[in-house]
């Protein structure tokens, strides 16, 4: 049976975007982030993260760093009774300095690949799903995937997501 999902961008939505965050010591949660994820979980939605990580293509860090940070985030969220069902990231960039990551990818936002992959893998009800992002590229990826996109201002993620969940019920 299909379920709706909330697709969260990572940097600037769940955590502060301080430029190429790839270590746990750099992670600063946005106010209300864990509570927002928990609200999504309680509402019966899938909770996903879709994030461009061009720092890999630029040679600033490795994919292992991205996965380690996501594991750290999972553990931090679990302490508060929240969980992300899947983390998706795109390490590619067409101007990357690391040759194996230098390419155009249908998974790099504004392309919809990460979102559409999750929709198919998890049997997501796209009509009832939405994305929360902080850039126009996030919203464009959502639109291309057939999902509603909402631009987050960076103030309090819990309040923003609870409002969106309430809209979905009406």
pLDDT 10s digits, 43-95: 999 999 999 999 999 999 999 999 999 999 999 999 999 999 999 999 999 99
Q: Is residue 169 part of a domain?
A: no
Where does residue 74 rank: exposed (0-12), middle (13-18), buried (19+ CB within 10 A)? Answer: middle
Whether 17 is catalytic is no
In a domain, 120, yes or no: yes
pLDDT at 169 over 90: no
Residue 168 lies in a domain: no
What is the mean pLDDT of the segment spanning 40-44?
98
Write the CATH number for 82.
Answer: 3.40.50.1000
- Residue indicated by tokens 């990551």: 101
Domain that holds residue 154: 5-163
In a domain, 112, yes or no: yes
- Reported pTM: 0.97
83-130 tens-digit pLDDT: 999 999 999 999 999 999 999 999 999 999 999 999 999 999 999 999
Asked whether residue 18 is domain-assigned, the answer is: yes
Q: Which of 9, 17, 85, 134 is catalytic?
A: 9
134 in active site: no
pLDDT of residue 145 exceeding 90: yes
Number of domains in the chain: 1
In a domain, 170, yes or no: no
Provide the pLDDT for residue 154: 81
């Amino acid at each position: 049976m299909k379920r709706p999902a909330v697709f969260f961008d990572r940097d600037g939505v769940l955590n502060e975007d301080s430029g190429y965050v790839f270590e746990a010591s750099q992670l600063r949660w946005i106010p209300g982030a864990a509570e927002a994820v928990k609200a999504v979980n309680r509402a019966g939605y899938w909770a996903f993260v879709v994030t461009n990580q061009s720092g890999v293509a630029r040679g600033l860090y490795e994919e292992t760093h991205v996965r380690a940070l996501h594991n750290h985030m999972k553990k931090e969220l679990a302490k508060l009774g929240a969980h992300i069902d899947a983390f998706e990231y795109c390490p590619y960039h067409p101007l990357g300095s690391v040759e194996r990551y230098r390419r155009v990818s249908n998974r790099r936002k504004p392309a919809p690949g990460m979102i559409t992959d999750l929709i198919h893998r998890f049997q997501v009800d796209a009509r009832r799903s939405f994305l929360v992002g902080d850039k126009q590229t996030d919203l464009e990826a959502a639109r291309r995937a057939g999902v509603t996109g909402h631009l987050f201002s960076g103030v309090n993620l819990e309040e923003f997501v609870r409002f969106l969940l309430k809209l979905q019920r009406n």
